[in-house]
A and B are shown apart, each in its own frame.
Chain A
Amino acid sequence: MFTFFLRRRRFLYVVASNLLNSGCILTEHELITLVQQKNEHAFSKLVTLFRDRVFNTALGMVQHEADAEDIAQEVFIKVYRSIGDFKKEADLFTWIYRITVNRCLDYLRSKQRRKRFGFITSFFGVDNDEGVKDFDHPGVQLDKKQDAAMLFKVMQQLPNNQRTAFVLSKVEGLSYQQIADVLDISSAAVDSLLQRAKQNLRKMIDQKYFNE
């Protein structure tokens, strides 16, 4: 009986690997099933499908390429390890975005904590000065680079929920409904978040660059 299961499992693995290697298009449902069976080819396929989206979102949120790459890798490790709990009726796209956003928010919170305690730890000789540099997003059009750097700088002062909605909308280009699904709020709430984010950004740009 046990050998039958082993053979069946091996057979399924070989079929899946052949399907993936032959470039056969799998449905999302099939892909999830294969990743749940810890199929490495299927996982690589899933990573290829989502890596740019995850990296781009993380980059927009944390504004640091090495940290964004690190976060994107952690997101996929989390996906691989917890896909067993993923319900197939749910949307994979939304689930992965949600993990990405949560991981980015954790990173931003720990960074804020480090900054807060930086004053105390500086007494003990620990250097916490990470320096505030202008962020140059590689996806921004060349003629808009300088303005985008100014915008990214003031975005750092936005509350986390407004910042997330703004990044998902402007950097990642998601629709209101998609943002609502990722943040688990209504479309009207997304609209309100974005309106407030834009108002705050305008105010901050005015104060920072025109009232000095």
Chain B
Amino acid sequence: MKNERIDKIMESLDGMDRVEAPYFFTSKLLARLKVQPEMPQRIFFLRPAFVVAALAIMMLVNVILLTKTSNVQVNNVQQEATIESFAEAYHLTTNSY
């Protein structure tokens, strides 16, 4: 019973007629064609996908540069500390009595 009902629904489009376009379709179209200016081809680097990708790459480069710079600063601080301790160990400091 249920399957028969489903079959009937599935067959409901059989033998349907093609719908005609609305009245004045062609005249409205020709009028629109004259009014609507031809859209210029969008420049490829202004496409949203390209802009988003470019922004993502710039952000990534920024993050990489920031992390690298902070690593270098840490290394510099460590290096300075090592030099100072070396100088103290060998009494090479400028403070002389």
Q: Report chain A residues within 8 Å CB of B26.
A: 44, 47-48, 51
**Contact A77:B29 (CB < 8 A) given known A140-B12, A210-B2:** yes
B30 contacts A137, CB within 8 Å? Answer: no
Which range holds the interface residue count of chain B? 20 to 34
Give the residue name and chain of the B residue nearest to A173 (CB): B18
* A104 touches B (CB below 8 Å): no
Closest to B5 in A: A210
**Chain B 30-55, CB within 8 Å of chain A: the 1/0 string?**
10110010100000000000000000
How many of chain A's residues have a CB under 8 angstroms from any CB in B?
A: 41
Please name all residues of chain A whose beta carbon is closer than 8 Å to the beta carbon of B8 when the two chains form the complex: 147
Out of A69, A137, A139, which one reaches B25, CB within 8 Å? A69
A sample of 17 cross-chain residue pairs with beta-carbon separation below 8 angstroms, ordered by A number, consists of A47-B25, A47-B26, A51-B25, A52-B21, A54-B21, A56-B19, A73-B25, A139-B17, A141-B15, A144-B16, A147-B12, A150-B9, A151-B10, A151-B13, A170-B13, A205-B9, A210-B6
Give chain B's interface residues, CB within 8 Å of chain A.
2, 5-6, 8-10, 12-22, 25-26, 28-30, 32-33, 36, 38
Chain A residues engaging chain B, CB cutoff 8 angstroms: 40, 43-44, 47-48, 51-56, 59, 65, 69, 72-73, 76-77, 80-81, 137-141, 144, 147-148, 150-151, 170-173, 198, 201-202, 205-206, 209-210
